[in-house]
């Protein structure tokens, strides 16, 4: 079966991992700091803290901002559970912003409208978590301006977009945000098996995150309150977690980072081929804004429902029969039982809800063959009228 996205492991990746497996340190060794340093160079951010997932990285970012019970946090409706769970797990109240009908990222016009209303009601969010959907960075310059006006912090959920750029600025630089999160799950641009990272330019956030990642423990001499009276002396300063990345994962990540440009180049090349096929057809592709380089974690197409020859749910089995796994990214988050129980309703975020019933992600990854792309187009021609 050909999936919507997958990892690509080279012989060098395998050798790097084996080297660590044969070394003295499978964790807390030299690979994680090296991986963090490399990520810091690539993203031009001052501090990088590698974690065992983007989910844990998001949680740590929320805690670094000291988000607490009843603080309000907003995110996109078009995202994975983790973008919201991180705030819920700090006791926050979550709310959503609908997506733009063309970029499928949060709609900045909607964001501004909602902020104006929230300001009047004195219910402004403490933090916003914009999600770089499919690999396209959100409109950070505009969002940053709004954050200054309405005084909220920004955590970019860039789980999809390592290697992407805004005005040639790498995602992760935090030029227009407080913190950025990456995911290195195997379907993402590069992988560490499971893994994630936080980037920031704020030393206090970095310190807090590093401590919380290590069960709330510090072993930095100058941070000690009391005298270090034995060689491996440490102090616990908070109730943290074990959100560490292993050295095995970091070695894979370091090796994968060497091919980051290649991964991005290949994904963009495949996106260009698809876009040529869909030009002037009834199939809509993600609009990429000027001065943006997408990492194309996903290649999503949206159908004009009137042009579909079969029902939406039948599309998935049609592809499966021909050996392809296509998927929906994402069912609007507020439609899940968790959020319905909180009072969110159908009809509240119409763009996202309509998208949820008319979009699919088709395969895109390094190694996808042109003959398979052609097969995908043939299947699409069977299920939808191409003509506008």
Ligand X SMILES: Cc1ncc(COP(=O)(O)O)c(C=O)c1O
Task: Please report, as ranges, the residues that interact with ligand X according to CB under 6 A.
Answer: 53-55, 79-80, 82-83, 131, 157, 159-160, 183, 185, 196
Least distance from ligand X to the Cβ atom of residue 333, Å: 10
**Using CA atoms, how far apart are residues 118 and 120, in angstroms rounded to an integer?**
5
Give the tokens for residue 252.
Answer: 């894979």
Beta carbon of residue 178, minimum distance to ligand X (angstroms, whole number):
17
Of 196 and 240, CB closest to ligand X: 196
Q: Please, what is the minimum distance in Å from the beta carbon of residue 76 to ligand X?
A: 8
Give the nearer residue to ligand X in terms of CB position, either 185 or 267: 185
Q: What are phi and psi of 131, to 5 degrees?
A: -110, 125
Q: How many alpha carbons fall within 13 Å on the CB side of residue 148?
A: 6
Write down the least CB distance from residue 86 to ligand X, Å. 9
Q: Which helix (H) or strand (E) holds 382?
A: helix 370-383
Contact between 160 and 31 (Cβ < 8 Å): no
Q: Which is nearer to ligand X, 325 or 377 (CB)?
A: 325
- Residue of 146, 148, 155 lying closest to 63 (CA atoms): 155
As measured in angstroms, the least distance from the Cβ of 160 to ligand X is: 6
Q: What is the 3-state secondary structure (H, E, C) of 243-304?
A: CCCCHHHHHHHHHHHCCHHHHHHHHHHHHHHHHHHHCCECCEECCCCCCEECCCCCEEEECC
How far apart are CB 331 and ligand X at their closest, in Å? 13
- Residue closer to ligand X by CB (options 90, 380) is 90
**Residue whose C-alpha is closest to residue 375's, from 322, 301, 326, 310:** 322
Q: Which is nearer to ligand X, 172 or 379 (CB)?
A: 172
Residue among 218 and 356 whose Cβ is closer to ligand X: 356
Rounded Cα distance, 356 and 104, in Å: 11
Assign residue 350 a region: left if phi > 0, alpha if psi is -120 to 50, beta otherwise?
alpha
């Amino acid at each position: 079966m050909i999936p919507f996205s997958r990892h690509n492991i080279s012989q060098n990746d395998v050798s790097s991992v084996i080297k660590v497996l044969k070394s003295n340190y499978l964790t807390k060794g030299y690979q994680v700091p090296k991986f963090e340093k490399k990520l810091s160079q690539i993203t031009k951010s001052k501090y990088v803290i590698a974690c065992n997932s983007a989910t844990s990285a998001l949680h740590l970012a929320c805690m670094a901002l000291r988000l607490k019970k009843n603080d309000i946090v907003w995110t996109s409706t078009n995202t994975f559970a983790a973008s919201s769970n991180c705030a819920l797990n700090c006791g926050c109240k979550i709310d959503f912003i609908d997506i733009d009908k063309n970029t499928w990222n949060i709609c900045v016009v909607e964001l501004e409208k909602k902020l104006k209303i929230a300001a009047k009601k004195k219910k402004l969010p403490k933090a916003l978590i914009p999600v770089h959907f499919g690999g396209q960075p959100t409109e950070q310059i505009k969002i940053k301006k709004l954050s200054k006006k309405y005084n909220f912090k920004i955590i970019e959920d860039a789980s999809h977009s390592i290697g992407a750029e805004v005005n040639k600025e790498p995602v992760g630089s935090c030029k227009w945000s407080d913190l950025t999160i990456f995911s290195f799950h195997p379907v993402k641009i590069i992988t560490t098996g499971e893994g994630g990272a936080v980037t920031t330019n704020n030393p206090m956030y970095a310190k807090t995150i590093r401590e919380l990642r290590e069960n709330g423990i510090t072993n930095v001499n100058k941070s000690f309150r009391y005298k270090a009276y034995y060689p491996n002396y440490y102090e616990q300063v908070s109730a943290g977690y074990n959100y560490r990345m292993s050295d095995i994962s970091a070695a894979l990540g370091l090796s994968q980072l060497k091919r980051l440009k290649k991964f991005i180049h290949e994904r963009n090349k495949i996106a260009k081929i698809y876009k040529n096929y869909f030009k002037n057809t009834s199939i809509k592709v993600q609009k990429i804004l000027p001065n943006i380089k997408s990492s194309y974690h996903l290649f999503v197409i949206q159908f004009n429902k009137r042009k579909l020859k079969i029902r939406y749910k039948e599309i998935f089995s049609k592809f499966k029969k021909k050996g392809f796994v296509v998927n929906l990214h994402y069912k609007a988050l507020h439609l899940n039982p968790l959020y319905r129980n909180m009072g969110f309703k159908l009809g509240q975020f119409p763009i996202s809800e309509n998208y949820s019933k008319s979009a699919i992600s088709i395969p895109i990854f390094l190694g996808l063959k042109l003959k398979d792309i052609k097969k995908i187009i043939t299947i699409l021609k069977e299920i939808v009228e191409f003509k506008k």
